[in-house]
Amino acid sequence: MSSKGSNGTSAGKPKLAVNVGGIQMINPVTTASGTFGFGTEYAPYVDLNRLGAIVVKGTTLAPRAGNPTPRLVETPAGVLNSIGLQNPGVDHFIDEALPYLAGFDVPVIVNISGDTVEDYARLADRLSQAGGVAGLEVNISCPNVKKGGMQFGSDPIMAAEVTRAVKGKTSLPVIVKLSPNVTSIVSVAEKVAEAGADALSLINTLLGMSIDTKTRRPFLGNVMGGLSGPAIRPVAVRMVWQVYQAVKLPIIGMGGIVTAEDAIEFILAGATAVAVGTANFVNPHTTIDVVEGIEKYLYENGVSDLNELIGAAHG
């Protein structure tokens, strides 16, 4: 079943459209930042107009070279990465990537990171004025950097401070991306919600490491990295479930989504939308397969509107 044009308006077709904190999406499927580049890399394989939204590669104020190599290692049912926010900087993004993305009819969500609270505020300001940006995903959960990132996301007070600073500089919807590497993700979600976030993304990667038994040294140049892929899915579903119960904000759920059934699991736990990440590296068409599979699931189960399933597992 094709979902092209099936934005819930055709008679007999299930409605797939969702709204994430003010961002209207034709379906709930988006991309996890860092696994889909700036869209250009995937355009040969994916009709970008069929996605609910694109969340682009993490952007910082200045270009960043990233961490020492190797920066990726496969693990059972997953991948460890220690990229370190390698990216060409916000000016390059605005000048080169945004004009290309403007040629598509898909909301563009920009993932932003900084070393300081001020960095996040300046990025929010800059991107709000650029035009063509549908929303900001505030990354306070990268485990691979010495400053900012997870340091902000593991402290509810700091997480709230970053959120307030970004909200103070933009009228775009602000989605805060949370870390699973905390004692209580609910405590962080509650503070971020109080600080004015419009939506939440969860989860970022789980801190891990892997050692090469031949060299007897860590595989990754940065020693530790973030684990993603199917191995983390049950942890992510649990966290979406807990945050949905505690905070009345739309959630973009992610962590090891490969199939439509995986996506439906997140939606039943409380996610309004879902992001496909590591699976893009295995099959670049995964996002569209998931869109089509969700539509098929709704059709086969007599569900006329996807929104009826959000949080339905809570009874």
Q: Give, in order, the Cα–Cα distances in Å from 110 to each of 33, 60, 94, 254.
A: 8, 10, 10, 16
Between CA 40 and CA 43 the distance in angstroms is 5
Nearer to ligand SIN, 58 or 156 (CB): 58
Q: Is 142 a catalytic residue?
A: yes
Closest to ligand SIN by CB, 16 or 243: 243
Q: Counting contacts by CB under 6 A, is residue 59 touching ligand SIN? A: no
Instruction: Out of 204, 280, 286, 287, point to the residue binding ligand SIN (CB under 6 A).
Output: 204
Distance CA 16, CA 129 (A): 31
Among the listed residues 3, 6, 60, 144, the single contact to ligand SIN using CB under 6 A: 144
Phi, psi for 40 (deg, rounded to 5): -60, -40
User: Tokens 């003010």 appear where?
Assistant: 22
* Minimum gap (Å) between residue 194 Cβ and ligand SIN: 23
Query: Does 205 sit near ligand SIN (CB under 6 A)?
Result: yes
Smallest gap from residue 64 Cβ to ligand SIN (A): 9
Shortest distance in whole angstroms from residue 240 CB to ligand SIN: 18
For the bound state, the minimum distance from the C-beta of residue 270 to ligand SIN, rounded and expressed in Å, comes to: 22
Joined tokens for residue 145: 């950097």
Q: HEC string of 81-96?
A: ECCCCCECCHHHHHHH
Q: Which is nearer to ligand SIN, 34 or 114 (CB)?
A: 34
Would you count residue 78 as binding ligand SIN (CB under 6 A)? no
Of the candidates 83, 149, 159, 167, which has an alpha carbon nearest to the alpha carbon of residue 112? 149
- 3-class DSSP assignment, residue 122: helix
Of 23-31, 76-84, 124-132, 300-308: span binding ligand SIN (CB under 6 A)? 76-84
**Residue of 307, 286, 291, 275 whose CA lies nearest to 139:** 275
- DSSP type of residue 97: I
Contact region with ligand SIN (CB under 6 A), list: 9-17, 81-89, 90-98, 238-246: 81-89
Q: Is 34 in the site for ligand SIN (CB under 6 A)?
A: yes
Of the listed pieces 4-12, 83-91, 195-203, 231-239, which binds ligand SIN according to CB under 6 A?
A: 83-91
The verdict on 142 binding ligand SIN (CB under 6 A) reads yes
Query: Applying CB under 6 A, which of residues 84, 180, 218, 270 lies at the interface with ligand SIN?
Result: 84
Q: Quick check: bond before 70 cis, omega within 30?
A: yes
Length of the chain, in residues? 315
Q: Are 34 and 204 within 8 A, CB to CB?
A: no
Please identify which of the residues 83, 106, 109, 142 carries the catalytic annotation. Answer: 142
Instruction: State the DSSP code for 271.
Output: -
Q: Which residues pair with 305 in a beta bridge?
A: 15
Is 278 a binder of ligand SIN (CB under 6 A)? no
Q: How far is the CB of 228 from ligand SIN (least distance, A)?
A: 8
Least Cα distance to 152 among 204, 198, 109, 223 occurs for 204
Residues in touch with ligand SIN (CB under 6 A) = 34, 58, 81, 83-85, 139, 141-144, 204-205, 226
Active site residues: 142
